[in-house]
Amino acid sequence: MVVKMSSPSSRPSLASDAPIGIFDSGIGGLTVAHAMAQAMPAERMLYFGDTAHMPYGDRSPELVRTYSVRIAEFLAAEGCKAIVIACNSASATAKEAVEASVGPGIPVIDVVAPVVKYLSAKGAERVGVMGTRATVGSGIYGRSLREAHAGAGRTGCRVEEWPTPLLAPLIEEGWQSHAIMLPVIEGYLQSAGWVKGQDRLIDALVLGCTHYPLAADAFREVLGDAVEIVDGPSIVASAVAAALLDEGLTAPPSQAEGKGLAAHRFMVSDLTETFVRSAQRFFGKEVPLVPGGPWFQH
């Protein structure tokens, strides 16, 4: 297996017309990429889905860090001006390692911090989080939210985090609107003490996995309209736009003109028909996936 390593010296200098690097353990991060494409029509993206190693949600924190750092170094070596960690499991366990590996000058945006900031600003005090074992096991949402609330002088904040590892496979199978989604979501909530039809347990539910937004309707049907289903991808897209602005890296508006899907690159470490089909569902339209990335064999 030939491994291309990157070093800071081999990187092209950053420019505002460079692409944004974005990665996920698989194709779920395309929900974030889609929100970014909507919010920032002038930006180009280099998306990498680590389909050879997905799902990160079942892996140990050490292994998720190893994979994430290798990918971030690859994206930096490809000249990306910013790195978006569009995977909750990697955001929860690998953000600092990724920042250290790409060094200063390349902003790193994860999918957890922007959502925590959003909830804290809203003063949401009873929050539920559903996610993979890796994300929930890290306790990152609860810890960050409690810190943010304490910093704002608020007490009484309660965050519950529930591992819901079956939801991503169900959504990958295309069953996000299948009748089975409801008893699965209810089953997970019930083991958390939730009783159907009684007072609501939470004010807001964080969909702590990039797959879950596709099943927003099912979550809404189970929880009712009184519980806010937090729209992670659009919140993260806003945070990316803000980070680019802060660093003077926003793409020139002219770059939006006549721009199609071909302005982006979508790479995966293992390419199968299933991933091609899934990509279409997660991005909302057909995506030209190509095999590539740090583990690609030449």
Q: Which residues bind a second copy (CB under 8 A)?
A: 1, 51-54, 58-60, 63, 66, 133, 165-166, 169-170, 172-173, 175, 178-180, 183-184, 187, 270-272, 274, 297
Burial (CB < 10 A; 0-12, 13-18, 19+), residue 155, is exposed
- Smallest distance from a second copy to CB 153, Å: 37
Smaller CB separation from a second copy, 54 or 109 = 54
- Smallest distance from a second copy to CB 172, Å: 8
- Smallest distance from a second copy to CB 73, Å: 13
Q: What angle do CA 55, 132, 283 make, to 5 degrees?
A: 60
Q: What angle do CA 232, 235, 238 make, to 5 degrees?
A: 150
Smaller CB separation from a second copy, 107 or 163 = 163
Token pair for 58: 């079942």
- Smallest distance from a second copy to CB 119, Å: 28
Smaller CB separation from a second copy, 216 or 271 = 271
Residues marked active site are found at 87, 209
Neighbours of 4 (CB within 10 A): 13
Token pair for 61: 């924190």
Tell me the C-alpha to C-alpha distance, in Å, between residue 30 and each of 220, 268, 283.
22, 12, 5
d(CA 96, CA 282): 27
Whether omega for the bond prior to residue 55 falls within 30 degrees of 0, making it cis, is yes
Strand order in the sheet with 45-49: 108-110, 82-85, 20-24, 45-49, 265-268, 289-291
- Smallest distance from a second copy to CB 297, Å: 8
